[in-house]
Chains A and B, each alone.
Chain A
């Protein structure tokens, strides 16, 4: 029995999906169980490697403006049972690029399958899409279609054959912002000495780690009446119930916990401990108030200096925890606190 050919689903906008121009940009998504327009050309390029089994077509305004569009597109793509999603190419069309990014996100986030697209380097869709897709650089207009499709087909072929993809500059896709760990020919110390000698000789060097650019967070305005506010404790100090019920990692945390303080005035009354892998936890285990200052908060509460201590504290471990995970956890915790009517937070670190 011959193996089943992998199934590719293409996402196109109203124009490339052959519905019409700007006047059709509000068209809701639909699926055609065949390769439409450039998807047909791609199907030919793919030859025996894969079949383009369906094309999902949606208006650029619709997908970018309607909240429900993402799940509609996701359902349609999913219904065709793809092994890989192709979006565009979008060239320098901004709204189309953003639409392609959504289709790529469907592949990566919802279906956990690879995605391939093509865009011009200034397309605003490139940044949100590259996280989920291998994106081939294209010229800024559709005149580049002939060049883009074979390149995309080449990448698709490698991916579907489970061949390991080389670095972006070798394979011809935009860097995806992923740091891949691998073995170098020389040990790190020798690479450092050689890099320094090059710098001292005035030669060009290529850093192995370009510096990150950080987000700037504007502080929230000051709390006006702290004596009437509900205040929560949030900590990256790793104090959890002794059995660590949520299996929070001792380093590189991906999870946080929410634990009740109701009816307690002192962390020492609770069978809690530190699971943090980045500091000497002896003193925190002796007295958990040192990391989660429940005792002091109760005193302030009693004296009326703070309105009320929130019934739960939130905690994770802040060592080796990636900024991306920290950001996600921070957003979720902040939302939960807001929903619970908390007005202020004391963050304790270690």
Chain B
């Protein structure tokens, strides 16, 4: 399967009359986009704001981030099974508006989103301080039920990203990245003798508002599944999560999964990249046993020598992470785990909710309770008051001078467990 992702660099976004890209400037027709998004009668209004890197702007509470893209060689231009009809993605050419992102905001259940700072200290911790963001703040129809609200905002963000992506349809990309991973029996000499490596990607699947969608299927209703990495890069995976912001995988991060990209980089040189297994993080014991046994079973069947396992979330899924590790290591398959830590504000607490002596190779992406102080913003998009209630903030978060104090918990993507970011923690 061969996927080409052409990159169209976007330097800035401007709201105006017509949607088009000119010299790196993405013009967005406010009226047209509004009309499209409000076709969903569950949404009463949408406000559009542009946030640029360096702006003293704080966006809160953020639900999802999506990279605007268009698929050229596939009749499915949107998200299969979610905003478009069903079909396979991951082959052909897709254009990505690099440097641009759609950010969806608006209180849903008030406590389960995070923030993006476009400047200063906070900007260091989130990758979305580096993108030019079209922020969509949605007001739902009155008395809209929370789960319907979540679904409406989730789909609206994806539709907006697809709409913006189409502006690049006839453009020549600035550069093209090729992701070519043939079927196992079509791989040649280049992989001979190289260690066989798989990627086990765990997805939060704990119930409404804590869900991930694979081709539109709620992951908690699936058995773990083998999937070609190109499908993930090309929009088969969508975030439906309202959980702690620091380590939820936004749709943008699924589209640009750094583990897949880094494994591709070494494929045919240092390793033979077998593919990806997606596995749900369930809340019941039976569910955990089923998912862990089946996910690791697939990997054993694939004949992997080594596996990278990434977690999503913390606490409860720590047990799935370690169970996956145990089942693989027992079979002589070497693992590296990626997780963040809950070590308390002072960093002195033990970090995980479960433990296993076989987990000897672990990448830490930082302590979610590490405290940061963020300067007052000149402009807040959304509602700063929501910090009092969201994970990582509290009623004590607001300082007299307008600055805020919160845990990394509250910052989108700060302790990404797909290792999207540079953050780590070490023993002092």
Pairwise interchain contact B351-A192, C-beta atoms closer than 8 A: no
A279: chain B residues within 8 A (beta carbon): 206-207, 210
How many Å from the CB of A305 to the closest CB on chain B?
Answer: 27
Which residues in window 115-146 of B have CB below 8 A to A?
124, 145-146
- Name the CB-closest residue of B to A166: B428
Number of interface residues of A (CB under 8 A): 60
Q: Fill in one digit per residue for A176-213: 1 if any B CB lies within 8 Å of its CB, else 0.
A: 11111111111111111101110110000101111111
Pairwise interchain contact A321-B111, C-beta atoms closer than 8 A: no
Pairwise interchain contact B206-A181, C-beta atoms closer than 8 A: no
Q: Fill in one digit per residue for B346-361: 1 if any A CB lies within 8 Å of its CB, else 0.
A: 1111111101110111
Flag the segment in B27-35, B152-160, B220-228, B365-373 that touches A: B365-373
A208: chain B residues within 8 A (beta carbon): 362-364, 424-426
A249: chain B residues within 8 A (beta carbon): 393-394
Pairwise interchain contact B146-A282, C-beta atoms closer than 8 A: yes
Pairwise interchain contact A209-B111, C-beta atoms closer than 8 A: no
Bound Cα distance A182, B124 (Å): 11
Query: A251 near B: Cβ within 8 Å?
Result: yes
Which residues in window 240-262 of A have CB below 8 A to B?
244, 247, 249-252, 254
A213: chain B residues within 8 A (beta carbon): 350, 355
Pairwise interchain contact B258-A179, C-beta atoms closer than 8 A: no
Q: Fill in one digit per residue for B182-219: 1 if any A CB lies within 8 Å of its CB, else 0.
A: 00000000000001010000000011111000000000
Query: A281 near B: Cβ within 8 Å?
Result: yes
Bound Cα distance A175, B343 (Å): 15
Pairwise interchain contact B428-A168, C-beta atoms closer than 8 A: yes
Query: A275 near B: Cβ within 8 Å?
Result: yes
Bound Cα distance A176, B426 (Å): 11
- Name the CB-closest residue of A to B362: A209
Pairwise interchain contact B334-A179, C-beta atoms closer than 8 A: no
- Name the CB-closest residue of A to B206: A279
Pairwise interchain contact A178-B346, C-beta atoms closer than 8 A: yes
A252: chain B residues within 8 A (beta carbon): 342, 344-345, 368-369, 391-392, 407, 409
Bound Cα distance A247, B359 (Å): 37
A179: chain B residues within 8 A (beta carbon): 341, 343, 347-348, 351, 364, 367, 425-428
Bound Cα distance A329, B338 (Å): 29
- Name the CB-closest residue of B to A191: B363
Instruction: Take A186-B422, A251-B244, A280-B210 as given contacts and tell me if A167 and B427 are in contact as well, using a CB distance cutoff of 8 Å.
Output: yes
Bound Cα distance A112, B271 (Å): 51
Pairwise interchain contact A254-B345, C-beta atoms closer than 8 A: yes
How many Å from the CB of B281 to the closest CB on chain A?
Answer: 12
- Name the CB-closest residue of A to B396: A247
Flag the segment in B10-18, B99-107, B261-269 that touches A: B261-269
Q: Fill in one digit per residue for A93-131: 1 if any B CB lies within 8 Å of its CB, else 0.
A: 000000000000000000000000000000000000001
Pairwise interchain contact B112-A322, C-beta atoms closer than 8 A: no
- Name the CB-closest residue of B to A318: B315
Pairwise interchain contact B427-A322, C-beta atoms closer than 8 A: no
Query: A20 near B: Cβ within 8 Å?
Result: no
Candidates A177, A189, A320; contact of B262 at CB < 8 Å = A189
Query: A324 near B: Cβ within 8 Å?
Result: yes
Q: How large is the interface on B (under 10, 10 to 19, 20 to 34, 35 or more residues)?
A: 35 or more
A139: chain B residues within 8 A (beta carbon): none
Query: A276 near B: Cβ within 8 Å?
Result: yes
Which residues in window 76-113 of B have CB below 8 A to A?
109, 111-112
Candidates A131, A165, A200; contact of B195 at CB < 8 Å = A200
- Name the CB-closest residue of B to A200: B195
How many Å from the CB of A202 to the closest CB on chain B?
Answer: 10
Pairwise interchain contact B408-A181, C-beta atoms closer than 8 A: yes
Pairwise interchain contact B427-A175, C-beta atoms closer than 8 A: yes
Pairwise interchain contact B308-A211, C-beta atoms closer than 8 A: no
- Name the CB-closest residue of B to A253: B394
Pairwise interchain contact A324-B422, C-beta atoms closer than 8 A: no
Candidates A182, A196, A200, A322; contact of B342 at CB < 8 Å = A322
Query: A325 near B: Cβ within 8 Å?
Result: yes
Q: Fill in one digit per residue for A294-331: 1 if any B CB lies within 8 Å of its CB, else 0.
A: 00000000000000000000000011111111000000
How many Å from the CB of A317 to the closest CB on chain B?
Answer: 9
Bound Cα distance A131, B350 (Å): 13
B298: chain A residues within 8 A (beta carbon): none
Query: B384 near A: Cβ within 8 Å?
Result: no
Query: B276 near A: Cβ within 8 Å?
Result: no
Q: Fill in one digit per residue for B401-422: 1 if any A CB lies within 8 Å of its CB, else 0.
A: 0000001110000001111111
Pairwise interchain contact A209-B364, C-beta atoms closer than 8 A: yes
Q: What are 28 A-B interface contacts by the 8 Å CB criterion?
A: A167-B426, A175-B428, A177-B348, A177-B427, A179-B341, A180-B367, A184-B422, A187-B421, A187-B422, A188-B338, A188-B422, A192-B336, A193-B259, A197-B266, A208-B362, A208-B426, A211-B352, A211-B360, A212-B350, A213-B350, A250-B394, A252-B344, A277-B390, A277-B391, A278-B244, A280-B208, A320-B409, A324-B344
A residues in contact (CB < 8 Å) with B = 131, 165, 167-168, 175-193, 195-197, 199-200, 205, 207-214, 244, 247, 249-252, 254, 275-282, 318-325
List the 4 closest A-B pairs by CB distance, nearest first.
A188-B419, A189-B419, A322-B344, A322-B349
Other A-B pairs, 13, CB within 8 Å; known A167-B426, A214-B350, A251-B409: A180-B427, A188-B424, A193-B262, A195-B363, A197-B266, A207-B361, A209-B364, A211-B362, A212-B351, A250-B393, A251-B244, A277-B112, A277-B244
B residues in contact (CB < 8 Å) with A = 109, 111-112, 124, 145-147, 195, 197, 206-210, 243-244, 258-259, 261-263, 265-266, 270-271, 305-308, 314-316, 334-336, 338-339, 341-353, 355-357, 359-370, 389-396, 407-409, 416-428
